[in-house]
Amino acid sequence: MSVAEALARVAELERRLMTPAPPASEVGDSFATMLGAVASPAGVSPVQPAGEGDVPYASLIDGAAARHGLDPALLRGLVRQESGFDASAVSHAGARGLTQLMPGTAAALGVTDPTDPAQALDGGARYLRELLDRFGGDTSKALAGYNAGPGAVQRYGGIPPYAETRAYVTNVLAYADAYRSGAASPLAA
């Protein structure tokens, strides 16, 4: 496992600490299965391949990506990092849904119910498109803006020096690469 993969794994586990573990009867016996069940929502294990069949909401994600001129793999990576494909996810800061939109951002994007997968994906895709346009198509800056806010990216002239934001950008790009290649998840052991 590379350093980037280890950092991505640590960030993902930290993010999932707020997600309750499923009952033992749903987890299975192996350590890898238990770790996957704790680190990810039910049905989304970091040891599963990243193929189309393993992506919840794949058709909604791909549709939102197409409407907003995004790489579907990038949007899949963002959703995986933001919510682990859990439409009911709520962050400690109050961001909600698959794309973890803050209430003000959701309202500005016309998203009335961020827990509705179709609305969340469309709003998150629209916001990512706006950030890509704002930062001249620079994917890393757009992702940093999605995580830390576009003002922080402008203040620092690039990805802010926040560990969380740097890990976020690395994770989303790694997930997107994995989805593009159909390879196993970058967090696989």
User: Look-up: residue for tokens 């999932």?
Assistant: 16
Closest CA to 139 of 161, 162, 158, 167: 158
- H helices, E strands: number in the chain: 10, 0
Name the nearest CA neighbour of 141 among 110, 166, 123: 166
CA angle 59, 67, 149 (to 5 degrees): 100
Cα–Cα distance for residue pair 40/7, rounded to 1 Å: 16
Distance separating alpha carbons of residues 67 and 120, to the nearest angstrom: 14
Catalytic residues: 82
